[in-house]
Amino acid sequence: MNTPRQELEARVAQAVQKLFSPAPLPPFVRPCPDARHGDFQTNVALVHAKEAKANPRELAVKLSETVELEDIAEKPEIAGPGFLNFRLKPEYLAKQVVARWDDARLGVPLVANPETIVIDYSSPNIAKEMHVGHLRSTVLGDALARLHLFLGHTVIADNHIGDWGTGFGMILFGYKRDGDPEKLRLDPFGHLEGIYQRVREEAKNDPAVNDAAKRELVLLQQGDAENRKLWEQFLKYSLEALEVIYQRLGVQFDYTLGESFYNDALPGVVANLLERFIARESEGAVAIFSDGQLAPKDDPFLVSEKEGFRDNPLLIRKSDGGYNYATTDLATIRYRREHFHAKRVVYVVDGRQQMHFKQLFEAAKRWGYGDMELEHVWFGTILGADKKPIKTREGGDVKLKALIAEAEERAGKIIAEKRPEMSEHDRAVLGRVIGLGALKYADLAQNRNLDYVFSWEKLLAFDGNTAPYLQNAYVRTRSIFRKAGTETVEGIFAKVRAIQKLDPAGAAIFLSEPAELALSKKLLDFADSLHMAAQEYRPHYLCLYLFELATLFHKFWESCPVLTAEEAVRNSRLVLCDLTGRTLAQGLKLLGIDVIEQM
Ligand code: ARG
């Protein structure tokens, strides 16, 4: 099912082909910047005039006479130096609305070329409790996974947890000295994090502690039975604690292949890179250096300095024989290609790791994975009211668990004020859906590359670009059906469908009021918003779309009576309510946010 924009583009392309080939590259039909002048606009006449050195307005006139639009739009208007403005016909809108309403996918086509896409997200380091910084990766990654799956791709959600590496030497040393199995079982993150921080402090001043921790790490890496067993326990309890959070967030992974999973592959990776002269030894370590193929300013293995450029190598083996973060990531790329047949890998990781991924992707290309699409979908930091990375009052990291609990509690309080008669149980259920939705949405609605200031008041507001606002709009769309009675509505819908079947070109519904027309047009843009969000890995495009849809729905609700209108108008409006509700619910679902039927 084409969106109106795509349909117009196809028609204009036909006309362009007839008049002056070849056709320009899409997209060349865009929404009109000012809705008073039309719904869509094209500048192709201007583009061709430049190429053909012709008068753009004359070409625009020719184009407007040639383009076949009868069934979808009014005769185009010529504006400015040679733009063509299009206004969609209400009958076309009505037909398109019904077609989407009658489709389980709401008119969203599956992609023509589905790919296998690994999405690497959340990926916390397990010796530390999940904190607010992990919210973005988890929530963004989950939304991107849902979105790509819905569009028809094969998605592999892979949680690349940090369960290996230097930190575990300190933890093993500290745990053997003052660990407590009971505490480990009950609060694995808290206990391990406490131990880790203590040992790290001690190691700073006491080389003996530092050495002891290193020895523990070497023992672990050599497969020492005791250390291995302890580490397995750390992992087991940490994974269980993580799972509790993921369940609360409603996030699921297909795989949790942490860094340790790739450990045995690392020597082979380094040997291979050395053999092929992609890496070389340097001061006892092994690293990947610039191969001189890229312009120095684009070369991630160089950094610019006052006098020219200096090496910025990617380390893959330390001088003590240990391996690096990048070594594991290289092994992971190979695994994802060989075992998952991934065409694309999307890393949803903090912007502070941009250099790491630039180097990693370039190294992978040189290693022979240049045909894989590797994307670092990076994000900024969540800030406190003081515009600094958010912290607790005591100056510690804001724990994700506590943040979720607070969101639910605050939402519960707001509901208690709005609906004092509601039972405690119902309030708690609503509080969860609204609180969690608000927390996720606050993150998703931002341009991910920007830092944003966290504010409970803003994210829980019932008006504005927030989850509660959208959830509330959804509740409104549903309330009309309760009022009318489901049976009546089902009867009405059956009739609309029957009319549509008899005469697909005819009108089962009628649209005339400006608010109706505006809402209808927005409803037809759903697929475009999804493709845009997927293409740039930016769920905030979808958020913005849903916000605009909800706003237009509220306007429609205020100016267009539904149940009291005469039959054909009533039916149209019921279809609009139903399609709006389903579009809101589907859009929110793709963001990992639930709706409620009643508020
Ligand atoms: N564990 C890492 C961290 O917390 C993030 C891992 C991201 N994924 C990856 N393949 N490098 O910083």
Q: 488: Cβ–Cβ under 8 A, 6 or more apart, which residues?
A: none
- 374 in the same domain as 270: yes
* pLDDT at site 258: 95
Domain presence at residue 42:
yes
- For residue 79, give the 3-state DSSP assignment: strand
H helices of 250-316, where?
A: 266-275
- Out of 129, 140, 160, mutate this one to test ligand 1's pocket (max ligand atoms within 8 Å of CB): namely 160
- Ligand 1 nearest atom to the CA of residue 349, by list position: 7
- 194 in the same domain as 131: no
Domain presence at residue 540:
no
- 377 in the same domain as 273: yes
Q: Which residues pair with 317 in a beta bridge?
A: 286, 323
- Out of 123, 337, 352, 379, mutate this one to test ligand 1's pocket (max ligand atoms within 8 Å of CB): namely 123
Per-position DSSP letters for 283-297, written without gaps between them: TTEEEE---S-S-GG
- 291 in the same domain as 147: yes
User: DSSP secondary-structure letter at 369?
Assistant: I
- Domains contained in the chain, number: 3
- 134 in the same domain as 71: no
Residue 15 has, within 13 A of its CA and on its CB side, a CA count of 23
H/E stretch holding 526? helix 526-535
Q: Whose CA is nearest to atom 5 of ligand 1?
A: 123
Residues 590 and 146 sit within 8 Å (Cβ to Cβ): yes
CA distance 596 to 581: 11
Residue 276's domain spans which residues?
A: 116-161+262-382
Domain presence at residue 135:
yes
Spacing, Cα 503 to ligand 1 middle (Å): 56
- For residue 358, give the 3-state DSSP assignment: helix
CA distance 538 to 551: 21
Spacing, Cα 355 to ligand 1 middle (Å): 13
Q: Whose CA is nearest to atom 4 of ligand 1?
A: 124
Domain presence at residue 184:
yes
3-state secondary structure 172-192: HHHHHHHCCHHHHHHCHHHHH
- 145 in the same domain as 44: no
CA distance 331 to 493: 55
Neighbours of 61 (CB within 10 A): 16
- 131 in the same domain as 278: yes
Return phi, psi of residue 593, to 5°: -120, 135
- Ligand 1 nearest atom to the CA of residue 357, by list position: 11
- 241 in the same domain as 191: yes
Neighbours of 421 (CB within 10 A): 5
- 270 in the same domain as 132: yes
Q: How does strand 344-350 pair with strand 116-120?
A: parallel
CA distance 205 to 418: 56
Per-position DSSP letters for 584-598, written without gaps between them: HHHHHHHTT----S-
Answer with the one of 351, 382, 413 that is the final residue of a domain.
Answer: 382
Domain presence at residue 342:
yes
Return phi, psi of residue 209, to 5°: -65, -40
User: DSSP secondary-structure letter at 37?
Assistant: G
H/E stretch holding 7? helix 4-19
- Ligand 1 nearest atom to the CA of residue 332, by list position: 10
Percent helix, percent strand, percent coil in the chain, to nearest 5? 60, 10, 30
Residues 384 and 454 sit within 8 Å (Cβ to Cβ): yes
- 72 in the same domain as 8: yes
Q: Whose CA is nearest to atom 3 of ligand 1?
A: 124
Q: Taking CA 167 as the corner, what is the angle to CA 164 and CA 173, rounded to the nearest 5 degrees?
A: 110
* pLDDT at site 236: 92
- 223 in the same domain as 140: no
Domain presence at residue 310:
yes
Task: Say if residue 27 is preceded by a cis peptide, omega within 30 of 0.
Answer: yes
Spacing, Cα 478 to ligand 1 middle (Å): 42
- Ligand 1 nearest atom to the CA of residue 134, by list position: 4
Q: Taking CA 593 as the corner, what is the angle to CA 245 and CA 259, rounded to the nearest 5 degrees?
A: 40
Residues 560 and 513 sit within 8 Å (Cβ to Cβ): yes
User: DSSP secondary-structure letter at 367?
Assistant: I
Token digits for 275? 């053999």
Answer with the one of 250, 279, 311 that is the final residue of a domain.
Answer: 250
CA 21 from centroid of its chain's CA atoms: 39
Answer with the one of 335, 357, 382 that is the final residue of a domain.
Answer: 382
- Out of 255, 259, 261, 349, mutate this one to test ligand 1's pocket (max ligand atoms within 8 Å of CB): namely 349
Return phi, psi of residue 243, to 5°: -60, -35
Q: Whose CA is nearest to atom 11 of ligand 1?
A: 329
Q: How does strand 40-42 pair with strand 154-158?
A: unpaired
- 318 in the same domain as 189: no
- Out of 161, 353, 357, 400, mutate this one to test ligand 1's pocket (max ligand atoms within 8 Å of CB): namely 353
Q: How does strand 116-120 pair with strand 279-282?
A: unpaired
CA 393 from centroid of its chain's CA atoms: 30
For the chain, give me the number of helices (H) and strands (E)? 22, 15
Domain presence at residue 513:
no
Token digits for 438? 């608000």
CA distance 273 to 246: 37
- Ligand 1 nearest atom to the CA of residue 329, by list position: 10
Q: What is the pLDDT along the chain (599 residues), one digit of tens a residue?
A: 889 999 999 999 889 888 876 656 666 899 998 888 999 999 999 888 887 888 999 999 999 999 999 999 999 999 999 999 999 999 999 999 999 999 999 999 999 999 999 999 999 998 778 888 899 999 999 999 999 999 999 999 999 999 997 789 999 999 999 899 999 998 888 899 899 999 999 999 999 999 999 899 889 988 899 999 999 999 998 899 899 999 999 999 999 999 999 999 999 999 999 999 999 999 999 999 999 999 999 999 999 999 899 999 999 999 988 899 999 999 999 999 999 999 999 999 999 999 999 999 999 999 999 999 999 999 999 999 999 999 988 888 899 999 999 999 999 999 999 999 999 999 999 999 999 999 999 999 999 999 999 999 999 999 999 999 999 999 999 999 888 887 788 888 888 888 877 776 666 788 999 999 999 999 999 999 999 999 999 999 999 999 999 999 999 999 999 999 998 899 899 999 999 999 999 999 999 999 999 88
Domain presence at residue 526:
no
Spacing, Cα 365 to ligand 1 middle (Å): 20
Closest CA to 146 of 460, 444, 556, 477: 444
Spacing, Cα 137 to ligand 1 middle (Å): 10
Pocket around ligand 1 at a 6 A CB cut-off: 120, 123-125, 160, 162, 329, 332, 347, 349
Spacing, Cα 344 to ligand 1 middle (Å): 17
